[in-house]
A and B are shown apart, each in its own frame.
Chain A
Amino acid sequence: MSNVYTEAKKGIDPGTIESVNSLKEDYKYGFSTDIEMDYAPKGISEEIVKLISKKNLEPEWMLTWRLEAYQRWTKMFEPNWPMLKYKKIDYQDQYYYAKPKSLKERPKSLADVEPALLETYAKLGIPLKEQEFLAGVVGAEYASADVKPKVAVDAVFDSVSVGTTFKDELAKLGIIFCSISEAIHSYPELVRKYIGTVVPRSDNYFATLNSAVFSDGSFVYIPEGVKCPMELSTYFRINAENTGQFERTLIIADKDSQVSYLEGCTAPMRDTNQLHAAVVELVALDNADIKYSTVQNWYPGDKNGNGGIYNFVTKRADCRGVRSKVMWTQIETGSAVTWKYPSCILRGDYSQGEFYSVAIANNYQQADTGTKMTHLGRGTRSRIVSKGISAGKAQNTYRGLVNIHPKALDSRNFTQCDSLLIGNKCGAHTVPYIENKNSSSRTEHEATTSKIDDDQLFYCLQRGIGEEDAVALIVNGFCKEVLQALPMEFALEAQKLVAISLEGSVG
Chain B
Amino acid sequence: MLEIKDLKVKISEVDKEIIQGFNLKINPGEVHAIMGPNGSGKSTLSHAICGKEGYEITGGDINLEGNSILELEAQDRAIKGIFLAFQYPLEIPGVGNLSFMRTALNSQKKARQEKELNPAEFLKLVKNKASDLSVDMEMLKRPLNVGFSGGEKKRNEILQMALLEPKLCILDETDSGLDVDAMRQVSQGVNALRSPNRSFLIITHYQRLLTHIKPDYVHIMVSGRIIKMGGPDLALQVEEKGYGHLIANQKN
Contacts of B84 in A (CB 8 A): 462
A-B contacts, 14 listed (Cβ < 8 Å)? A458-B74, A461-B73, A462-B74, A462-B86, A464-B78, A464-B107, A469-B103, A473-B100, A473-B103, A477-B92, A477-B94, A478-B93, A478-B94, A481-B94
Say yes or no: A465-B104 contact (C-beta < 8 A), given A455-B90, A459-B89, A477-B143: yes
Contacts of A454 in B (CB 8 A): 53-54
A466, A476, A478, A480: residue with the most chain B Cβ atoms closer than 10 Å: A466
B75, B95, B160: the one contacting A467 at CB < 8 Å is B75
Q: In this assembly, does B164 line the interface, its C-beta being within 8 Å of a C-beta of chain A?
A: yes
Contacts of B107 in A (CB 8 A): 463-466, 469
As a 0/1 sequence over residues 53 to 78 of chain B, the CB contacts with chain A under 8 angstroms (1 = contact) are: 11000000000000000000111001
Q: Is the CB of B53 within 8 A of A479?
A: no
Query: How long is the Cα–Cα vector from A476 to B96 in the complex, in angstroms?
Result: 11
Q: In this assembly, does B228 line the interface, its C-beta being within 8 Å of a C-beta of chain A?
A: no
Q: Is the CB of A476 within 8 A of B95?
A: yes
Q: In this assembly, does B111 line the interface, its C-beta being within 8 Å of a C-beta of chain A?
A: yes
Q: Is the CB of B93 within 8 A of A463?
A: no
Q: In this assembly, does A117 line the interface, its C-beta being within 8 Å of a C-beta of chain B?
A: no
Q: In this assembly, does B50 line the interface, its C-beta being within 8 Å of a C-beta of chain A?
A: yes
Contacts of A461 in B (CB 8 A): 51, 73-75, 78
As a 0/1 sequence over residues 151 to 183 of chain B, the CB contacts with chain A under 8 angstroms (1 = contact) are: 000000000100010000000000000000000
Contacts of B93 in A (CB 8 A): 477-478
Query: How long is the Cα–Cα vector from A467 to B108 in the complex, in angstroms?
Result: 13
Query: How long is the Cα–Cα vector from A460 to B160 in the complex, in angstroms?
Result: 12
Contacts of A480 in B (CB 8 A): 94-95
Contacts of B208 in A (CB 8 A): none
Shortest CB–CB separation between residue A258 and chain B, in angstroms?
Answer: 29
Q: Is the CB of A463 within 8 A of B104?
A: yes
Contacts of A478 in B (CB 8 A): 93-94
Chain B: interface residue total (CB-CB under 8 A)? 29
Shortest CB–CB separation between residue B163 and chain A, in angstroms?
Answer: 10
Please report which residues of chain B, range 80-102, place their CB below 8 angstroms from some CB of chain A when the two chains form the complex: 83-84, 86, 89-90, 92-95, 100
Contacts of B53 in A (CB 8 A): 454, 458
Majority secondary structure of chain A interface residues (helix, strand, loop or mixed)? helix
Query: How long is the Cα–Cα vector from A480 to B100 in the complex, in angstroms?
Result: 14
Q: In this assembly, does A456 line the interface, its C-beta being within 8 Å of a C-beta of chain B?
A: yes
Contacts of A455 in B (CB 8 A): 90
Say yes or no: A474-B78 contact (C-beta < 8 A), given A454-B54, A464-B107, A469-B107: no
Q: Is the CB of B74 within 8 A of A456?
A: no
Q: Which residue of A lies closest to B75 (CB)?
A: A461
Interface residues of A (CB under 8 A from B): 454-456, 458-467, 469, 473-474, 476-481
Q: In this assembly, does B79 line the interface, its C-beta being within 8 Å of a C-beta of chain A?
A: yes
Q: In this assembly, does B52 line the interface, its C-beta being within 8 Å of a C-beta of chain A?
A: yes
Query: How long is the Cα–Cα vector from A168 to B50 in the complex, in angstroms?
Result: 62
Contacts of B95 in A (CB 8 A): 473-474, 476-477, 480
Shortest CB–CB separation between residue B104 and chain A, in angstroms?
Answer: 4
Q: Is the CB of A462 within 8 A of B108?
A: no
Q: Which residue of B lies closest to A484 (CB)?
A: B94
Interface residues of B (CB under 8 A from A): 50-54, 73-75, 78-79, 83-84, 86, 89-90, 92-95, 100, 103-105, 107-108, 111, 143, 160, 164
Shortest CB–CB separation between residue B94 and chain A, in angstroms?
Answer: 3
Contacts of B143 in A (CB 8 A): 477
Q: Is the CB of B164 within 8 A of A459?
A: no
A459, A464, A465, A473: residue with the most chain B Cβ atoms closer than 10 Å: A464
Q: 3 tightest CB-CB pairs across the interface, nearest first?
A: A477-B94, A477-B95, A463-B104
Q: Is the CB of B160 within 8 A of A463?
A: yes
Contacts of A469 in B (CB 8 A): 103, 107
Contacts of B105 in A (CB 8 A): 464
Query: How long is the Cα–Cα vector from A44 to B70 in the complex, in angstroms?
Result: 64
A459, A467, A473: residue with the most chain B Cβ atoms closer than 10 Å: A459
Query: How long is the Cα–Cα vector from A467 to B89 in the complex, in angstroms?
Result: 18
Shortest CB–CB separation between residue B7 and chain A, in angstroms?
Answer: 19
Q: Which residue of B lies closest to A463 (CB)?
A: B104
Q: Which residue of A lies closest to B160 (CB)?
A: A463
Q: Which residue of B lies closest to A458 (CB)?
A: B52
Contacts of A464 in B (CB 8 A): 75, 78-79, 104-105, 107-108, 111, 164
Shortest CB–CB separation between residue A495 and chain B, in angstroms?
Answer: 11
Query: How long is the Cα–Cα vector from A454 to B83 in the complex, in angstroms?
Result: 18
Shortest CB–CB separation between residue B169 and chain A, in angstroms?
Answer: 12
B54, B79, B90: the one contacting A459 at CB < 8 Å is B90
Contacts of B103 in A (CB 8 A): 465, 469, 473
Q: Is the CB of A462 within 8 A of B92?
A: no
Q: Is the CB of B94 within 8 A of A476?
A: yes
A466, A473, A477, A481: the one contacting B75 at CB < 8 Å is A466
Query: How long is the Cα–Cα vector from A274 to B111 in the complex, in angstroms?
Result: 42
Shortest CB–CB separation between residue B16 and chain A, in angstroms?
Answer: 18
B75, B84, B108: residue with the most chain A Cβ atoms closer than 10 Å: B75
Q: Which residue of A lies closest to B47 (CB)?
A: A458
Shortest CB–CB separation between residue A360 and chain B, in angstroms?
Answer: 15
Q: Is the CB of B75 within 8 A of A456?
A: no
Contacts of B90 in A (CB 8 A): 455-456, 459
Q: Which residue of B lies closest to A465 (CB)?
A: B107
A459, A463, A480: residue with the most chain B Cβ atoms closer than 10 Å: A463
Q: Is the CB of B164 within 8 A of A462?
A: no
Contacts of A481 in B (CB 8 A): 94
